[in-house]
Structure 1
Amino acid sequence: MRFFSKRLLKRGYDNYEKFMNFNSAYRRDGKYDDRSRDGRRVYRTVALVLVCCILTSLMVGGGLYMKLSNDIKELTMLSANQAKADTVIGNRAVNLESALKLASDSGSSVTNIAKKVGPSIVGIRMLTQSPRSWYFDDEMAQSKAEGSGIVITADGYIMTNYHVVQYADPKNSRSKNTTLEVFLADKRQAKAKFIGGDPKNDLAVIKIDMDNLTAAELGDSATLEVGELAVAIGNPLGLEFQGSVTAGVISALNRTVSVDDKTLNLIQTDAAINPGNSGGALVNSRGQVVGINTVKISVSGVEGLGFAIPINDAKPIVDQLMMFGYVKGRPFIGISGREITDAIARQYDLPVGIYILEVTPDSGAAKAGIQKGDILVSIAGKDVRTMKEVDNIKKNYKAGDSVDVTVVRNGSKVKLSLTFSEER
């Protein structure tokens, strides 16, 4: 037992000696030991590698966790959006199914509606010849626009949107180089004449020299109800898809929509309406035209927002366009001008207002003494800064009414009396 203890003590002492010699820069004999320093370097290197590995693992793991979290969020959002889309599509399907059932119960169907109204819907092509240049060939010098129209009389009167035929308006500088072509549902075609247009309400009338045409039956848009069947007939994306029929419901009534600085009161529908449908018919379950398709909201992720001009609003204007070529009684000033903004006014030391570029002969402005180069600053006691403000004031009057206007001429204010003439 004693012998065993001595051996243990000796072995422990020897191990202690080895440990001390390895972890000390100096041996017991006082000499410097390089192996001891190398050992510490090894330990430090190993420790540094281990720390780097741990940090790298944490960073990679954190990145993977963040990516996984983002993927989960994205999947959740996609699922939610899909659910919303499914709900919208489901609601539209339910609404359309209900409308179709009501129409079927009343003896109508989309097929019968299309057969009744289809022959009255035409395609319209507006061709405008631009001045040729040596740089462009003949094909590029000619622009083409296509839309839809509705035959309203058997002798060839057709109503449509003004923007579909605007370059054919004699008031437009391009009218001399513009021609209109009409394509009927029975494949016949004819040249058309511009009869009259109303840019403010986006309505126009053209005419072809043909008889015995099928005129559309006009309905009463005042009797429309939200949820009832609505059928759109026209030429989406042009004549290639002439006579396309889409069905939906009346989504809302009396929608106020601003289009190109015009504010229109419109019918909203989810029946598919696309470029080329403009000027076509929105039809009720009895096959009567209750609206003129005019605009669609085209925003990514938005569907089923089409709008039509109510036929009750359009018909009085269309009647006047057929009779006179313009809307009678509408006040007309007779000026064209450029708006002087605050910045321009400061730069050129001018008053804010409308710089008169042109005065129409025999107009109210001409008879009042307004001259080219004048700056219009007020009408009926109200300051004007833009042409839109001028139009808003003008709406409160009719042809024959008189108002005071103020212009700045050569730096001095001049008050004049203006009598509105009739817009033609």
Structure 2
Amino acid sequence: MDWDLEKDDGQKKAKKGKKKALTAVVAVLITILVGGAIGGGIGVTTWYLNKEDSSSTSTGYSFAQNGYSGNSVQALLSVPQADSNIADICGKMEGSVVTVVTQIMMQNLFQATQTAEGLGSGIIFEEDADHVYIVTNAHVIEDANTVYIYYNDTQSVPAYVRGADTSADLAVLYMKKSEIPEDIRAGIKVATLGDSDAIRVGELAIAIGSPEGKAFGNTVTVGCISGTQREITVDGNSLKVIQTDAAINPGNSGGALVNANAEVIGINTAKINDTEVEGMGFAIPMAVAKPIMEELLDKGSVERPALGISEYALIPEAIADAYHVPVGIMVYEVSRGSAAADAGIRQGDIITEIDGRDITSLETVTEILSEHEVGDVVEVTLIRNRNTHEPIKVMLTLQNQEETTGGTEDFWGRSEREDDSGNRSPFTIE
């Protein structure tokens, strides 16, 4: 069986890069987005059909990777009398928002090892007798070999990863109190977490974080709540978010979105990446983040049901019509020993239904999985024969996403991309 579709492996590592349209009579844009919600540590391929007229543009979201050209003063003026208490609000947040610095070991073209540095923000949300706990975005610490909390040029504190949930883009770090200098420990303050379900459009919103480098730690930008219950898709993950026009800059990821009561109502995570758009930033609501934070704190991981597909492609209706293939998800790789492998799903299969529901988008799959728990059995309908399109139905027992990281199998069952430990987690956990 061969479907006339090709995967562009050359773009696989450019997961946060800007999409480029290929223009022709009919051009297909294929972008690999690593880290979706179906398989657990999986890759996602999204197919786009571009007609000859390529004048239209699509809006993309980025993890606060680009500068903001808006005017914070304009946002401030849109909130009547807000300037009278902003300083007090920021004073109450002092010591609760920190600068998260990561170091990543990389090889250059000459195979020499170099250290690259990343920057983000974090919120202190819990402490016990021995530790201080910080929440940040999972993408802030992705691929990090070491993590530390920066305070000034002479003082920084090692941080360790308690757990991360890439699907929700959240991670919990901790500092050991025994490693925190006394003067820094005295200034640490646990943030007050607010009720994001109670916010209204137009209310004051303050973003606090560390944009554009260590020198700008605890930078404050002011705006309002522009929207609630928004849904965006970043790197294959569907996120429910708060929209704000408070400036979200590079390094703000993981920082706090604060209300007029100095309560954290969201965790800054993304902004619209478009030169024609200003002042559209997004934060994960605390109502969504808090239970995940608690589970990461308690268990070090979040249990999510997964099919066990390592890499796949969404085939929308336009592509299906053009290539005479079914609408659904094409399977590129199946995790070795996974639920999908046990059910007999192979590379090249196209999944058209799960539990009788048509698969027309990645969001549909995410929604179906969210309705189930690990151990539930689902019926998967797939097409394997290109000529007859005869459906095949298999029963699949959903497994924990964390269990799908142990290598993959190609069409002939050969294992790929597995290290000695069988663990492909990018995080260093003490």
* TM-score bracket for this pair, using the shorter chain length: 0.5 to 0.7
1:95 is aligned, of 56, 63, 78, to 78
1:98-151 deviation per Cα after TM superposition (whole angstroms, max 9, x unaligned): 3335xxxxxxx32232232121211112222123442x765xx43332110111
Contact 1:100 1:229 in 2 (8 A): no
**Superposed displacement of residue 295, structure 1:** 1.7
Question: 1:409, 1:299 → 2: CA distance?
Answer: 40
Equivalent in the alignment of 1:162: 138
Contact 1:147 1:235 in 2 (8 A): yes
Question: 1:122, 1:89 → 2: CA distance?
Answer: 22
**Gaps spanning 5+ residues in structure 1: where?**
1-87, 102-108, 169-177
**Superposed displacement of residue 281, structure 1:** 0.6
1:131 corresponds to 2:75: no
Contact 2:123 2:136 in 1 (8 A): yes
1:265-280 correspondence to structure 2 within 5 Å: 265-280=240-255
1:146-295 correspondence to structure 2 within 5 Å: 146-154=119-127, 155-168=131-144, 178-184=145-151, 188-210=155-177, 213-295=188-270
Equivalent in the alignment of 1:40: none
1:29-68 correspondence to structure 2 within 5 Å: none
Contact 2:269 2:283 in 1 (8 A): yes
1:420 is aligned, of 384, 398, 422, to 398
Contact 2:314 2:362 in 1 (8 A): no
Equivalent in the alignment of 1:76: none
Question: 1:349, 1:252 → 2: CA distance?
Answer: 40
- RCO comparison, higher one (Cα < 8 Å, 6+): 2
1:315 corresponds to 2:287: no
Question: 2:330, 2:233 → 1: CA distance?
Answer: 26
Aligned length: 317
**Superposed displacement of residue 355, structure 1:** 5.0
Distance 1:149 1:345, change over 3 A: same
1:369-423 deviation per Cα after TM superposition (whole angstroms, max 9, x unaligned): 4355655444223454775654343234332322222345688864321121233
Equivalent in the alignment of 1:71: none
Question: 2:339, 2:291 → 1: CA distance?
Answer: 25
Higher strand share: 2
**Superposed displacement of residue 233, structure 1:** 1.1
Identity of aligned residues (%): 41
Q: Give the AA of the match of 1:339.
A: A
Distance 1:229 1:182, change over 3 A: same
Contact 1:339 1:386 in 2 (8 A): no
Question: 1:215, 1:279 → 2: CA distance?
Answer: 15
Question: 2:263, 2:99 → 1: CA distance?
Answer: 19
Distance 1:128 1:365, change over 3 A: same
**In terms of Rg, which structure is larger?**
1
Distance 1:165 1:343, change over 3 A: same
Question: 2:161, 2:373 → 1: CA distance?
Answer: 26
1:117 corresponds to 2:93: yes
Question: 2:193, 2:167 → 1: CA distance?
Answer: 22
Distance 1:377 1:187, change over 3 A: same
**Superposed displacement of residue 280, structure 1:** 0.4
Higher helix share: 1
Distance 1:395 1:122, change over 3 A: same
**Gaps spanning 5+ residues in structure 2: where?**
1-70, 179-184, 403-430
> TM-score, normalized by length of structure 1?
0.64
Contact 2:354 2:379 in 1 (8 A): yes
Equivalent in the alignment of 1:405: 380
Contact 1:113 1:285 in 2 (8 A): yes
Contact 2:76 2:83 in 1 (8 A): no
Equivalent in the alignment of 1:21: none
Distance 1:373 1:305, change over 3 A: closer
Distance 1:220 1:339, change over 3 A: closer
**Superposed displacement of residue 343, structure 1:** 11
Pairwise CA RMSD: 3.4
Q: Give the AA of the match of 2:123.
A: I
> TM-score, normalized by length of structure 2?
0.63
**Superposed displacement of residue 347, structure 1:** 11
Residue 140 of structure 2 aligns to a residue whose secondary structure is helix
**Superposed displacement of residue 160, structure 1:** 0.8
